[in-house]
Every structure is written in C-alpha cells, then in structure tokens.
Amino acid sequence: MILAAITLCALALGVLTPVRWGVWGFVGAAAVLFLAQALTNTAMGFEGIPISESLLLFNDSYLSYVGFNLQITYRAFALPLLALATPFIFRLARSRT
C-alpha cells in the first residue's frame, strides 16, 4: 500500500516538476520521495508491530532499526523512481527539441 501511494506521488511529481529545474529538480524530487518512503517505513514499525516492539528485534538500537528501513526502502525504490523518471524525461526531451 505504501509503495502504491509513493508511486502515485512520484508520477504526480514527474508530471508537475518544472522542466527548467532539469537534472537538479529530478534529483531533488527523487530524494524527497526516498525520504518520504523511508520515514513512512520507519514510522510504521517492523511488519506493522509497534516501534517499541520492533526495537526489541534490533537490540534496542535505533541506528540498526533506521538502517534496516533505509535498506528496505532502497530495495523497493525502483518502481517509484521509474514512475518519476518516465514523464519527467519525456517532458524534458520534448522541451529541448
């Protein structure tokens, strides 16, 4: 569900990001989407259990818990990145010709 929501947001950002921002706009939009997905994954807890119980699985280490969620987000970010890149690159190519 989170992946679908982030992918729809990525598609909207790909359509709405101004073309004049170019590569930096694309990189910024991708970074914002990645952070939003990572924060959402971290806030929801491991497999839907509360964060206090999730930390027990990681020896009460916030750093390990956040690192795990960043790794999960990194692995699941291909679809939102594709949804962001497709309309943005199409629009960028049309504006340059």
Render pLDDT for 2-33 as a digit per residue (tens, 0 to 9).
Answer: 889 999 999 999 999 999 998 899 999 999 99
Q: What is the pLDDT of residue 48?
A: 81
Rounded CA gap, 2 and 30, in Å?
16
Residue 13 lies in a domain: no
pLDDT band at 38 (very low <50, low <70, confident <90, very high): very high
Q: What is the pLDDT of residues 54-70, one digit of tens each?
A: 889 899 999 999 999 99
What is the predicted pLDDT for the residue at 22? 87
Contact by Cβ (8 Å): 83, 14: yes
Domain of residue 61 covers 22-96
Q: What is the domain count for the chain?
A: 1
Label residue 97 by pLDDT band (50, 70, 90): low
Q: Is residue 9 part of a domain?
A: no
- Report the pLDDT averaged over residues 66-89: 94
Whether 29 is in a domain gets the answer yes
**Which pLDDT belongs to residue 26?**
93
- The residue with greater pLDDT, 72 or 47, is 72
